Amino acid sequence: QVALVESGGGLVQAGGSLRLSCAASGRTFSSYAMGWFRQAPGKEREFVSAISRSGSRTYYADSVKGRFTISRDNAKNTVYLQMNILKPEDTAVYYCAAASVGVVPSTQRGYDYWGQGTQVTVSS
């Protein structure tokens, strides 16, 4: 079992940076692959990034590749999403998710636990 709490969202101007954190509770954090998803108003939730249990493999949506970086610190039970060169289209609620079983990184149904989300707003 794992509980996830996101933080670090806020209002940023286009071109700026923001770092999101996802703190997890539970004794087996390192057993979970982690992912970030986002949902804009009136839109469906979409995949942003994911990272393997050890952190050795990472995955990114084409829309954020080269601008966002995912990482994790298993000793701190935390996963991060560094967002650079932010654009207005990045505006959304960002969710952290954990997968207990191996799954295609971008597939939402494969994740067992979800955080409540943190708002990211990028102004032009």
Q: How confident is the model at residue 27 (pLDDT cuts 50, 70, 90)?
A: confident
DSSP-derived secondary structure letter, 25 = E
Contact 47, 110 (CB under 8 A): no
pLDDT at 26: 76
pLDDT at res. 28: 81
Per residue in 31-46, pLDDT (tens digit) is 899 999 999 999 999 9
Over residues 57-88, the pLDDT tens digits come to 999 999 999 999 999 999 999 999 999 999 99
Q: Which residue has the tokens 């609620």?
A: 93
* 18-49 residues labelled b (16+ CB within 10 A) or e (exposed): bebbbbbeeeebeebbbbbbbeeeeeebebbb
